[in-house]
């Protein structure tokens, strides 16, 4: 038996016993160390759905995790019991057309932890133990804080979004939304050489953290129009709020690239499509991440991307309900970390 954080329906999260997973050849059992509560976990908890992915059966949430290898399946090499690892929540087939193109995040047969995008749902990692393929584990130094290693997943999301945007060297970048993804997007844009990164949000705490993540300038979107609107080479929309979309289109310069990173609500909403025409905007979706997880772990371990300013609280996994309530309060929280 193992305890896990399970969403049964909207506002119904339980820390309860779930079935033990079978250790199969090529897989390892990882003991939970630290996990990051993500916007999508919160949406399952608060709304019972993320975008169009609705909860239809109990879902162990969580996809940002680092821990310790507890048991090795047959044939596993390169890992030992006791190794500390960051766990890539994404397992692609390697065989479908999109995988063969290298766009593994669009794999037709992907298994992504803690997601209701398929039935049966793909169970997540906010559990005392979880069984994953050995290839999903990336070793981190024995003394490296697992709270930071666990954030390799959201950093991967932002590295992928930067890849979608193209060359950021010398560019002026707008990041809309300073939740954890917007915060890491700010840091990743700086690392990729952006000359200016302006980050917007409605919450003072989020803006303060954005400054700590290296934003050139922060702006409270509730207090007026985006500074220098119409001049940004690249806009990363990380809020996932339909209210932010008009500002994103206005902020982009002619010929700009707009990357939609935030998952928007499931209902349709109006989009100023003529601006895409008249400004010749390249509007690109960015979904999870392709083959950049190992790179993201490396960036965090090397300190190139410092994720610590985003962490606002650490709460034991057993108090998952309290942790989720806290994480949902943007006045008090950015990234909330669950610990063993
Ligand atoms: Zn995440
Ligand atoms: Zn595939």
pLDDT tens for residues 164-194?
999 999 999 999 999 999 999 999 999 999 9
The pLDDT assigned to 240 comes to 94
Which bound ligand lies closest to the C-alpha atom of 110? 2
If asked whether residues 27 and 129 sit together in one domain, one would say yes
- List of residues 6+ apart from 327 with CB closer than 8 A: 37, 41, 42, 313, 333, 335, 336
In the reported structure, the alpha carbon of residue 40 is separated from the centroid of ligand 1 by a whole-number distance in angstroms of 7
The pLDDT assigned to 265 comes to 86
Banded pLDDT at 151 (limits 50, 70, 90): very high
If asked whether residues 34 and 76 sit together in one domain, one would say yes
Domain boundary among 255, 285, 315: 285
In the reported structure, the alpha carbon of residue 294 is separated from the centroid of ligand 2 by a whole-number distance in angstroms of 19
The CATH code of the domain that includes 113 is 3.90.180.10
**Residue 295 within any structural domain of the chain:** no
**Residue 110 within any structural domain of the chain:** yes
Q: In terms of residue numbers, what domain contains 55? A: 2-151+307-339
If asked whether residues 321 and 255 sit together in one domain, one would say no
How many whole angstroms separate alpha carbon 31 and alpha carbon 46? Answer: 27
From residue 111, give the alpha-carbon distance in Å to each of 2, 201, 295.
21, 32, 20
**Residue 131 within any structural domain of the chain:** yes
The pLDDT assigned to 51 comes to 86
Question: Mean pLDDT for the chain?
Answer: 97
**Residue 296 within any structural domain of the chain:** no
The pLDDT assigned to 52 comes to 87
**Residue 317 within any structural domain of the chain:** yes
pLDDT tens for residues 262-283?
999 888 999 999 999 999 999 9
Banded pLDDT at 65 (limits 50, 70, 90): very high
Which bound ligand lies closest to the C-alpha atom of 263? 1
- As a whole number, mean pLDDT of residues 115-126 equals 95
105 three-class SS: helix
**Residue 32 within any structural domain of the chain:** yes
How many whole angstroms separate alpha carbon 81 and alpha carbon 281? Answer: 50
Better-scored residue on pLDDT, 267 or 310: 310
**Residue 299 within any structural domain of the chain:** no
In the reported structure, the alpha carbon of residue 108 is separated from the centroid of ligand 2 by a whole-number distance in angstroms of 5
**Residue 86 within any structural domain of the chain:** yes
């Amino acid at each position: 038996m193992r305890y896990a954080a399970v969403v049964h329906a909207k506002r119904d999260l339980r820390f309860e016993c779930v079935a033990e997973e079978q250790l199969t050849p090529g897989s390892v059992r990882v003991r939970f160390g630290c996990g990051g509560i993500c916007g999508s976990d919160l949406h399952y908890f608060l709304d019972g759905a993320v975008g169009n992915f609705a909860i239809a059966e109990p879902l162990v949430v969580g996809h940002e995790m680092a821990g310790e290898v507890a048991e090795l399946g047959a044939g596993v090499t390169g890992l030992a019991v006791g190794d500390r690892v960051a766990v890539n929540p994404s397992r692609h087939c390697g065989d479908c057309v999109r995988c063969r193109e290298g766009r593994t995040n669009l794999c037709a047969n992907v298994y992504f932890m803690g997601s209701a995008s398929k039935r049966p749902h793909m169970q997540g990692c906010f559990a005392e133990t979880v069984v994953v393929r050995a290839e999903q584990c990336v070793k981190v130094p024995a003394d490296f804080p697992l709270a930071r290693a666990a954030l390799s997943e959201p950093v991967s999301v932002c590295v992928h979004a930067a890849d979608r945007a193209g060359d950021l060297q010398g560019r002026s970048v707008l990041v809309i939304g300073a939740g954890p993804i917007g915060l890491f997007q700010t840091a990743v844009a700086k690392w990729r050489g952006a000359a200016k990164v302006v980050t917007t949000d409605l919450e003072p705490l989020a803006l303060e953290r954005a400054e700590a993540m290296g934003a050139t300038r922060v702006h409270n979107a509730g207090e007026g129009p985006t500074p220098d609107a119409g001049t940004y080479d690249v806009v990363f929309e990380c809020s996932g709020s339909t209210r932010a979309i008009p500002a994103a289109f206005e902020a982009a310069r002619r010929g700009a690239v707009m990357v939609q990173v935030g998952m928007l609500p499931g209902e349709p909403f109006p989009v100023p499509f003529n601006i895409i025409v008249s400004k010749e905007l390249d509007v690109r979706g960015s979904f999870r991440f392709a083959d950049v997880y190992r790179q993201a772990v490396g960036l965090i371990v090397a300190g190139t991307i410092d994720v610590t300013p985003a962490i606002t609280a650490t709460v034991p996994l057993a108090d998952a309900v309290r942790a989720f309530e806290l994480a949902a309060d943007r006045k008090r929280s950015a990234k909330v970390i669950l610990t063993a």
